[in-house]
């Protein structure tokens, strides 16, 4: 088909300028309409028309970009670190909000949002930006924890889009009309600059049982949750992460074949920190581990083998029960915890409640040393005795009871059994 019969539909150079430089563009399936003019499949306007998982900047040849410009369907962009280059070292990310009423709340928390690329399809808004420094490498769906259905699920609110996701930029959407954009180029922000209202959760399901008064589909959750929504705990501004200290508990102290168990335990910790919003650099964490562990690893395996094992472990784990319980306790005030004044203790109460729910209501275990480790990013310097006192406060306020007293083992540090607890707050 000649260029005369296949005219320009998309201004790719202008889109590149607005996106801050080179970007991985892709073609979106054209919308197919029936005899009545209605769209046959609304998903066509969101799906790539070709394989795109392996597309990189190297594939953005003049021929490809020209074919994108002449594509009759919509044009999208692949998001994440794949857009980083020598010219622009920062990846491209997006915050998508599907609810019109929440757009103003997001912009009020993020002054940079008025200075970056913003677009709109049928509803809400989407902000695109370049991300400086470490950013999460996965897309997270976002939920409104104030709105709980009869199954205990939060209402959908939007997405934070990272590696592997796409955003449609230019063309028509299924609801009728074309994508609108504000004409501003993307700005560059740090991960810490991206803020969300306290009721926004990356966890789909409420961990609080629905009360008898809660109506299915209503905007209010159970009374204890509706009374107060704790904002996420903030990591205090401090010195850079001490990776040597971070990995210390997972370093072998004797010669072994591959130390897979330690590598996996380290991956669980790193995943937990990522869930907590800590900007972990995986390569630095491994370098700190290898600096201490290398002498205990067989020469026949070598550094590359263990680096592969850590990356594989990170891909295979969701962070274990602690990371999942931390997600579940985000923005949730469990029964009785509203009377606690400290946000750290309210979050600990939420974590205990989530751990118990994860066990189907059975007793949960959270050793003091582990508790201190979980809260370390938010309470620098906290230790086992601090966690011991935190649990005393929860007991005093009638939130937890000790159902089984653990015993201190003889010999090895950390041996023995941990206390078992039951959350009984009302």
Same domain, 153 and 211: yes
Q: pLDDT at position 138, please?
A: 81
**For the chain, what is the domain count?**
3
Range with lowest mean pLDDT among 13-22, 87-96, 375-384: 375-384
* Tokens at 313, concatenated: 């472990």
Same domain, 208 and 303: no
Task: Say if 262 falls within a structural domain.
Answer: yes
Q: pLDDT at position 320, please?
A: 82
Q: pLDDT at position 212, please?
A: 30
Q: What is the pLDDT of residues 27-47, one digit of tens each?
A: 999 887 777 767 667 777 788
Task: Say if 234 falls within a structural domain.
Answer: no
Same domain, 331 and 202: no
Domain of 352, CATH number, reads 1.10.10
- d(Cα 164, Cα 24) in Å, to the nearest integer? 11
Q: pLDDT at position 192, please?
A: 79
pLDDT band at residue 294 under the 50/70/90 scheme: confident
pLDDT band at residue 223 under the 50/70/90 scheme: very low
Domain assignment of residue 256, given as a range? 243-310
Q: pLDDT at position 4, please?
A: 52
Task: Say if 388 falls within a structural domain.
Answer: yes
Q: What is the pLDDT of residues 168-200, one digit of tens each?
A: 999 888 777 889 999 999 999 988 788 888 778
Q: Reply yes or no on whether the pLDDT at 21 is more than 50.
A: yes
Task: Say if 392 falls within a structural domain.
Answer: yes
pLDDT exceeding 90 applies to what percent of the chain?
41
Task: Say if 110 falls within a structural domain.
Answer: yes
Same domain, 250 and 222: no
Q: What is the pLDDT of residues 93-134, one digit of tens each?
A: 999 999 999 999 999 989 999 999 999 988 899 999 999 988
Q: pLDDT at position 3, please?
A: 53
Task: Say if 70 falls within a structural domain.
Answer: yes
pTM of the model: 0.52
Task: Say if 238 falls within a structural domain.
Answer: no
Same domain, 72 and 100: yes
Same domain, 281 and 411: no
Q: pLDDT at position 406, please?
A: 66
Task: Say if 3 falls within a structural domain.
Answer: no
Range with lowest mean pLDDT among 300-309, 349-358, 407-416: 407-416
User: Of the candidates 289, 310, 331, which is a domain's last residue?
Assistant: 310
Q: What is the pLDDT of residues 352-378, one digit of tens each?
A: 999 988 888 888 999 998 999 999 888
Same domain, 83 and 196: yes
pLDDT exceeding 70 applies to what percent of the chain?
85
User: Of the candidates 169, 192, 227, which is a domain's last residue?
Assistant: 227
As a three-state string, the secondary structure of the chain is CCCCCCCCCCCHHHHHHHCCCCCCEEEECCCCECCCCCECCHHHHCCECCCCCCCCHHHCCHHHHHHHHCCCCCEEEECEHHHCCCCCCCEEEEEEECCHHHHHHHHHHCHHHHHCEEEECCCCEEEEEEEECCCCCCCEEEEEEEEECCCCEEEEEEEEECCCCEEEEECECCCCCECEECCCCCCEEEHHHCCCCCCEECCCECCCCCCCCCCCCCCCCCHHHHHCCCCCCCCCCCCCCCHHHHHHHHCCCCCCCCCHHHHHHHHHHHHHHHHCCCCCCHHHHHHHHHHHHHHHCCCCCHHHHHHHHHHHHHHHCCCHHHHHHHHHCCCCCCCCHHHCCCHHHHHHHHHHHHHHHHCCCCCECCCHHHHHHHHCCCCCCCCHHHHHHHHHHHHHCCCEEEEECCEECCCCCCCEECCEEEECCC
Helix then strand count (H, E) for the chain reads: 12, 15
Which carries the bigger pLDDT value, residue 191 or residue 224?
191
Q: Reply yes or no on whether the pLDDT at 1 is more than 60.
A: no
Q: What is the pLDDT of residues 134-155, one digit of tens each?
A: 888 888 888 887 887 777 678 8
Same domain, 57 and 113: yes
* Tokens at 87, concatenated: 């010219």
Same domain, 249 and 167: no
User: Of the candidates 260, 287, 310, which is a domain's last residue?
Assistant: 310
Same domain, 88 and 153: yes
Q: pLDDT at position 214, please?
A: 31
Same domain, 120 and 258: no
pLDDT band at residue 71 under the 50/70/90 scheme: very high
Same domain, 25 and 159: yes
Q: Reply yes or no on whether the pLDDT at 385 is more than 50.
A: yes
């Amino acid at each position: 088909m000649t260029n005369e019969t296949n005219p320009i539909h998309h201004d790719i150079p202008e889109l590149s300028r607005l996106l801050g430089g080179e970007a991985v563009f892709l073609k979106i399936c054209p919308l197919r309409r029936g005899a009545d003019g209605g769209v046959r499949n609304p998903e066509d306007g969101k799906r790539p028309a070709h394989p795109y998982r392996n597309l990189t900047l190297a594939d953005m040849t003049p021929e490809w970009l020209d074919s994108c410009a002449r594509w009759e369907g919509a044009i999208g962009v692949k998001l994440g670190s794949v857009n980083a280059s020598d010219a622009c070292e920062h990846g491209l990310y997006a915050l998508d909000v599907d609810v019109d009423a929440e757009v103003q709340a997001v912009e009020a928390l993020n002054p940079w949002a008025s200075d970056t690329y913003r677009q709109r399809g049928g509803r809400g808004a989407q902000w695109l930006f370049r991300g400086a420094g470490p950013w999460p490498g996965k897309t997270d769906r976002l939920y409104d924890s104030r709105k709980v259905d009869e199954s205990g699920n939060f209402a959908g609110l939007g997405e934070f889009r990272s590696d592997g996701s796409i955003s449609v930029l230019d063309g028509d959407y299924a609801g009728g009309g074309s994508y609108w954009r504000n004409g501003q180029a993307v700005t560059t922000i740090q991960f810490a600059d991206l803020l969300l209202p306290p009721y926004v959760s990356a966890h789909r399901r409420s961990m609080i049982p629905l009360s008898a008064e809660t109506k299915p589909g209503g905007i209010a959750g159970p009374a204890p949750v509706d009374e107060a929504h704790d904002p996420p705990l903030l990591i205090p501004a401090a010195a850079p992460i001490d990776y040597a200290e971070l990995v210390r508990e997972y370093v072998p102290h004797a010669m072994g074949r591959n130390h897979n168990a330690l590598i996996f335990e380290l991956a669980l910790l790193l995943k937990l920190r990522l869930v907590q919003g800590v900007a972990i650099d995986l390569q630095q964490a491994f370098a700190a581990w290898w600096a201490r562990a290398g002498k205990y690893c067989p020469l026949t395996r070598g550094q590359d083998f263990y680096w592969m094992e850590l990356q594989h472990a990170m891909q295979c784990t969701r962070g274990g029960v602690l990371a999942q319980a931390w997600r579940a306790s985000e923005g949730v005030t469990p029964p009785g915890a509203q009377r606690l004044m400290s946000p750290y203790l309210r979050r600990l109460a939420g974590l205990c409640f989530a751990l118990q729910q994860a066990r189907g209501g059975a007793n949960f275990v959270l050793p003091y040393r582990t508790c201190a480790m979980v809260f370390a990013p938010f309470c620098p310097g906290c230790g086992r005795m601090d966690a011991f006192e935190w649990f005393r406060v929860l007991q005093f306020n009638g939130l937890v009871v000790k159902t089984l007293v653990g015993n201190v083992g003889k010999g090895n540090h950390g041996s023995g059994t941990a206390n078992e607890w039951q959350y009984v707050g009302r």
